Amino acid sequence: MLAKKFRLPKETRFDNFSFSQPFFFLKIAKNKEKNSRFGVIVSKKVDKRAVVRNRLRRAFINCIDSQIIEIKTGYDTLFIVRKKSLEKESMELCASIRGSFLKNNLLK
């Protein structure tokens, strides 16, 4: 689980930048905080069962948490999970997340 200082508040607005991957849609915005903050949305369109949605959410959060030291500070990041991510293992999702961070120049 992410520490509270790394969690994205609900009232955050994303006007700046978005990025699409086969497994998720990524929205990025600059913030004025010392830390980068992250949020993960898994809608009922992905799967009706809450157990499956929570498992996906935890997989994304674990991937982010394992890379949190390498991520640049001062960004708000929102992951909107797509249905294709159900078919993938957590290691493949982590590789995809890391690749999107590299592509968007968010790693130190």
Residue 72 lies in a domain: yes
Within-domain flag for 81: yes
CATH number, domain containing residue 19: 3.30.230.10
Q: What is the pLDDT of residues 31-85, one digit of tens each?
A: 888 999 999 999 999 999 999 999 999 999 999 999 999 999 999 999 999 999 9
State yes or no: pLDDT of 15 exceeds 80. no
Q: What pLDDT, on the 0 to 100 scale, is given for residue 55? A: 94
Other CB atoms within 10 A of residue 65 CB = 15
CA–CA distances in Å: residue 36 to residues 9, 56, 64, 84, 98: 12, 21, 11, 26, 15
- Considering its fold, how many domains does the chain have in total? 1
* Higher per-residue confidence, 61 vs 14: 61
Residue range of the domain that includes 90: 4-103
